[in-house]
Amino acid sequence: MKIKTQSRKVNKAWLNDHVNDPWVKLAQKEGYRARAAYKLKEIDETFGLVRPGHVVVDLGASPGAWSQYLRRRLGTRVGAGGETSVNGVIIALDLLPMEPIEGVSFLQGDFREPEVLEQLEALVGERKLDLVVSDMAPNLSGIASADAARVADLVELALSFAHDHLKPDGALVAKVFHGGAYDGLVQAFRRQFRVVKVIKPKASRDRSAETFLVGLGLKAMLNESPR
């Protein structure tokens, strides 16, 4: 009984924090599906990642806040009524379904499955990417070593995909968590990118262990996938 009571208290506290969160309120006001949009917004504004004409892949896209932000950044007004078209390409992927976003191509599937990766690569085609953004995170079990391995696996897959598809001056943004695998992931980024930055956006809750690694410019010396 104590565990259930504690769980209800935790859920109630989380719900209260969520409802009163200024970023949640701002997202609702500005039409974003989640507060996460402001994480990518701050990262983009800090490093100047998204530019007109860019080809971008959004990994772990659902519910679509990052894709919404990308769509707005790449939107160009084309009519007197305020309609916009996309000056660029946005491809989104997630294991979970996502409500459509005009101008965003969405693929539902597990990024860890080879056939899903093949479908994503088919959508990308021969185009080289300017930017890969990854908000992917596994379902956490509470077992630190197992969770660290799951997180590392997803980030390494994102690194491998970026290695194969980014332009030489392209960039990768990936969510990571502080813990046993963190230092190894930073080193993996440093092996692959000329410049590596760490950022915890203001919209990321203080108590959250998440942070974001930003890799800028592929190292020309790499000839093999980091998998």
Residues noted as catalytic: 175
With CA atoms as reference, report the closest residue to 103 among 131, 84, 116. Answer: 84
Round to whole Å and give the CA distance between 97 and 100.
Answer: 9
Is there a contact between 56 and 43 (Cβ–Cβ < 8 Å)? no
Strand partners, 213: 174, 198
- Would you call 164 helix, strand, or coil by DSSP? helix
Q: Do the Cβ atoms of 92 and 58 come closer than 8 Å?
A: yes
Whole-number Å distance between alpha carbons of 61 and 170: 19
